[in-house]
Structure 1
């Protein structure tokens, strides 16, 4: 495990301490959670962009239009 030192304004640090306490965890664990979430979002975006670059734009629009129509119709 690595150690990371970051500089934050005092008020932000206090608010993060309060958030961590409210969640029953430490600031370190809170940052582990934040970084894991950010990395997961980055991975999803990266995979999406790679697939989008290989995909057929016209077919993609057709699929989105079909989904839009399905969701705009009232349920019976």
Structure 2
């Protein structure tokens, strides 16, 4: 496992701490979740562009729908 140092403005750091506290997780876990989400979105966009480039817009949109559906339950559960 790697260690990463990130420099953030103090106000952003405080907001991330508050978000982690609200979710009852550590800042480390929060950053892991946010980075996982960002990578999943990037991968889906990459797959979408590759599929569309092959001429299948419908299949590309299906990839984006799958990503949207996989993220939606997590967001809804945590906002309660």
TM-score by shorter chain over 0.5: yes
Superposed, 1:49-60 pairs within 5 Å as 49-55=49-55
Show CA shifts across 1:34-68 (max 9, x none): 000000001110001001111167xx6xxxxxxxx
* In 1, Cα distance between equivalents of 2:17 and 2:10: 11
Superposed, 1:1-76 pairs within 5 Å as 1-55=1-55
Cα-Cα RMSD: 1.4
* In 1, Cα distance between equivalents of 2:7 and 2:56: 45
SS in 1 for 2:7: coil
Going from structure 1 to structure 2, the CA distance change for 1:44 and 1:32 (only over 3 Å counts) comes to same
* In 1, Cα distance between equivalents of 2:16 and 2:56: 44
Structure 1 stretches lacking a partner, 5+ long? 61-76
SS in 1 for 2:51: helix
